[in-house]
Amino acid sequence: MEEEIHKEIKNRIIRLKMIDGTTITGQVNINREPGYDRLSDMVVSYREPFLVLFSVTVYHKDMDTAVHQKTLFINKNHILWATPEEDQ
């Protein structure tokens, strides 16, 4: 019988600028494993090529309205810059 592992989610809001000009705001879970408890650890690590965001808002540079997604997988190679929300 498989044992279920439940971890508490510790989320942080992050804003990303993609190389195509798109801006993305969403939440990431920083409660992962030792050594990965900061946003910068997750963004610069090459252990996982994708950053998983939830409660996401995507602002495309060519669209007037934002697009909302429950979950979004971001290829880290396409991130131009990343910054945490200041009021956390």
Residues 4-32 have pLDDT tens digits of 665 677 889 999 999 999 999 999 988 76
pLDDT band for position 3 (cuts 50, 70, 90): low
What digits encode the pLDDT tens for the residues 20-77? 999 999 999 887 666 666 778 778 877 889 999 999 999 998 888 999 999 999 999 9
- 51: tokens are 């950053």
Distance CA 8, CA 43 (A): 20
25: left (phi over 0), alpha (psi -120 to 50) or beta: beta
pLDDT of residue 15: 96
pLDDT at 88 over 60: no
